[in-house]
Amino acid sequence: MKSESLAEAVNKRRTFAIISHPDAGKTTITEQLLLFGGVVRKAGTVKAKKSGSFAKSDWMEIEKKRGISVTSSVMQFDYAGKRVNILDTPGHEDFSEDTYRTLMAVDAAVMVIDSAKGIEPQTKKLFQVCKMRGIPIFTFINKLDRDGREPLDLVTELEEVLGIAAYPMNWPIGMGKGLKGIYDLFNHRVELYRREDQAESLIALNDQGEISDAEPLAEESIYQQVLDEVRLLHDAGNQFDAAKIAQGKLTPVFFGSALTNFGVKTFLDAFLQFAPAPAAHTLADGQKIEPVATDFSGFIFKIQANMNPNHRDRIAFVRICSGEFKRGMDVTLTRNLKKLRLSNSTQFMAETRETLETAVAGDIIGLYDTGNFQIGDTIFSGKNKIQFAKLPQFTPEIFVKVTAKNVMKQKSFHKGIAQLVQEGAVQLYQSYSTGEYILGAVGQLQFEVFQFRMLNEYHSEVIMTPMGKKIARWIEPEQLDEKMSSSRNLLVKDRQGNPLFLFENAFSERWFKDKYPQVKLTAKL
């Protein structure tokens, strides 16, 4: 970085997340991207399922058992003059909250779609978040080596269901056993699919957009059909428009097969060409901060305890939004104006976590945390106070009562709860009347992970008694009268001590509002 200016360094950054419905192939494509980046095979969160060996950072046992990705992490590599940061996101819907926050920390998203399934519910949800942020979305339609749906059908669905214009960068020539290759509109070539040795070869197109008659593929009827489809796309489809891609209004669509590494490099090359470098970030007051601003600033979008169970560490993930990070630098934590020295930092490159010396806007750094940070915190250097806009928060919908099975083990129970709650996946409440602990979450699986981790990481066996769905509504402390609480609207306090009611259902909420019309209830704090 020495001879490089901050602007040059920032411009090299490409920070993105891969979103998909579980099983579409996110992990497989991530692994291929890491291979292109020269990062060894077992790096990152990627699981080498086939060999039965798991990557070092594939830390959550539960992931292996359930075969789903429940936790996000960061992988970084250099490729074609760019510094690439991939943020992994859990695909399972019960972990949407974690994923949503991660999406706040990226500049672009890659949406992986299973060619046999098309748009699935989780793809749609995550797409909406990306759309709301206005970040560019690149689409990879995966599993071409299997029989899937008609390409035209898939692209039409993309446009109709997601409401985004699509531009096919390439077009499959056959699929499944009949997969011959892709017709690459963007690079003006045909990329052959060679099943035997997984090699691919490139054939340039002539001015008519065709391959030479001497090529065996030219004789195949599927090729002729693709030529017709491509002409149709050219005449009736969207035009390529880099500006619209940058605004998130047009998604470039790539076809390929992550498992056989077909079309992945073509995708990566085009992606890095059109994915944006870090842009300005919005502050809480609506102002923006440029990535090349001199002062360092960033926000914490994730906290992960016990990434390494042997070390009982906790890491706060920071998205750097401006300036340069230097290990040992002093920063201010905006929430409490506490001064902190950032001497214990880590990055996520290659196989192991290494101590990180420098990083710039666009990068994600991990800070070993001893309890200073909360999700959503801003840190900054320099004199001007900086506060980033709030991260989205979800109101929990399902609740359980939680107690330690062994009453003699209260200490580890409390420690575990405190640390896991800080990660933000489950919320902790306490009943006003009985003092009982109650957990709230958006999805059931979060409780299961909580229970599992309490046992594995804190040796605390917990009993969870389901309370079912509730509607959480906060009340101003001045308006609170404890007599308002009943079995239909349980009065509890959150971790910060703010009072709220857990309503049985919409009916009991309405009943309450009728009875206490002057009381203001809010869905979120």
Under the rule (CB under 6 A), what is the footprint of ligand G4P? 20, 22-28, 49-50, 69, 91, 142-143, 145-146, 257-259
CB of 11 or CB of 69, closer to ligand G4P: 69
396 touches 469 (CB < 8 A): no
DSSP 214-242: TSGGGG-HHHHHHHHHHHHHHHHSPPP-H
184 is in an annotated binding site: no
- Min dist CB 171 to ligand G4P, Å, is 17
Is 27 annotated in some ligand binding site? yes
* 26 marked ligand binding residue: yes
| Beta strand spans in 129-216 (E) | 137-142, 165-168, 170-173, 181-184, 189-193, 200-204
> Are 455 and 461 spatial neighbours (Cβ–Cβ below 8 Å)?
yes
Tokens of 520: 């203001």
Question: Is 22 labelled a binding residue?
Answer: yes
User: How far apart are the C-alpha atoms of 229 and 131, rounded to whole Å?
Assistant: 29
Nearer to ligand G4P, 67 or 466 (CB): 67
Helix (H, G, I), strand (E, B) or coil at 42: coil
Q: Say which residues have a Cβ less than 8 Å from residue 374's Cβ, sequence separation at least 6.
A: 300, 303, 335, 422
In whole angstroms, how close is the CB of 257 to ligand G4P at the nearest point?
A: 4
Residue 513 annotated as binding?
A: no
How many C-beta atoms surround the C-beta of residue 51 within 10 A? 9
Give just the sign of the alpha carbon dihedral 107, 135, 47, 58.
Answer: positive
The verdict on whether residue 481 carries a ligand-binding annotation is no
Nearer to ligand G4P, 142 or 322 (CB): 142
Sign of CA dihedral 327, 332, 334, 336: positive
Token look-up 């979008």 returns 301
**Two tokens at 294?**
């001199």
207 annotated among ligand-binding-site residues: no
Structure tokens at 412: 């580890």
Residue 302 assigned ligand-binding role? no
Helix axes 96-103, 121-133, angle to 10 degrees: 30
Nearer to ligand G4P, 116 or 333 (CB): 116
CB closer to ligand G4P out of 19 and 359: 19
* Shortest distance in whole angstroms from residue 46 CB to ligand G4P: 9
Q: How far is the CB of 172 from ligand G4P (least distance, A)?
A: 12
Residue 143 assigned as binding residue = yes
Residue closer to ligand G4P by CB (options 33, 471) is 33
From the list 154, 153, 258, 176, the residue with the least C-alpha distance to 222 is 176
Half-sphere exposure of 462 toward its Cβ, with a 13 Å CA cutoff?
A: 30
Shortest Å distance, C-beta 151 to ligand G4P:
15
Min CB(57)–ligand G4P separation in Å? 15
- Name the DSSP class of 177: G
Where are any strands of DSSP class E within 89-180?
Answer: 108-114, 137-142, 165-168, 170-173
Cβ at position 143, least distance to ligand G4P in Å = 4
Which of 23/93 has CB closer to ligand G4P?
A: 23
CB of 26 to ligand G4P, least distance (A): 3
Residue 89, marked binder: yes
Q: Select from 160, 154, 165, 92 the least CA-distant residue to 125.
A: 92
Residue 102 assigned ligand-binding role? no
Nearer to ligand G4P, 142 or 378 (CB): 142
The annotation places the binding site at: 20-27, 88-92, 142-145
The annotation places the binding site for GTP at: 20-27, 88-92, 142-145
